[in-house]
Structure 1
Amino acid sequence: MKPLLRFTPIALLTAAIVSPAANAQLITYPDISLAVANRLADAAVAACLTKGRHIAVSVVDRGGNLVALQRADNVGPHNTEASRRKAYTALSTKSNTLMFSESARENPDSRNLTTLPELLLLGGGQPLKVGQQVVGAIGVAGGGGAQQDQACAIAAITAVPELNQMSN
């Protein structure tokens, strides 16, 4: 009696290679689009301008890539990089940078994070969430201090209803 299926070494090897690829699942996540990033940046600049504050604002996606950057007239040039680093810090730590910086002052282990070149432990960075997922972050600099920068970032988030309003 002949077997119904005959497996040669090459057939077995081919099946072993193709089978995992055929069953591989791609992971999909929500992410910040250019349109949403620009809405956030516009809203942050507008919120600060109503208070007479000129800012730089950066929005990064879930991978930490810069998606949008705006700099109001008359803001210091160092604020551009500061806003990007605040956004990156908020994304990386999944927390608002004002609370994170306050925590780092109280916790000696967290204080060591100031030695990482990309992190900036100053208020003004806010993670962007959809449900429980962090999908990006916004960073604001130049608004006259950590509290003011943070307020502008939060004002921007409230202007985009697709995002959680109480990101922390």
Structure 2
Amino acid sequence: MAIHRKFLKSNKKDRTFINRDIRAKEVRVIDPEGNQSGILQIHQALAMANDHGLDLVEVSPNARPPVCKIMDYGRYKYEQTKKKQEAKKKQSTVQVKEIKVRPKTGEHDLQTKIGHITKFIGNKDKVKVTVMFRGREITLSQQGRDVLSKIAESVNEIATVESYPKFEGRTMIMILAPK
């Protein structure tokens, strides 16, 4: 039983109250045409909605007094889901792809990695280029910086350096973003 109550409490925030579920004593009413009918007692607002054959929907519960609109609740719910879907479509997710190299990576391997970076940048993804140092290679930090600057130079027409090379433990990291 306690779990059920807890679930109801967490669901209360995103719940839209309609008709008799509205707890306020008086509400600001907007009629179906969009005109304000003023502040009415809840029973008067419910009677008004009933006369129109529609629902009384609380559209702004945080206002004092709460704002309620006389409308078809099913249609309102449908429009809200459509708005959420449209917002989700317009939202673009930027992924961060990672390319790992070593300070002594060969020229051909480096060109292959640059090809991958070009492809990722072409897909509008950010690229995190990591130079990994093993054992005594940590003394080759200048070679690591040279590798990163070579990569940055070769993709400078399609990408910008968002985060310049910096050490994080035994790795050196640089982040590239599409222009």
Larger Rg: 2
> Whose RCO is larger (CA < 8 A, sep 6+)?
1
Structure 2 length-normalised TM: 0.27
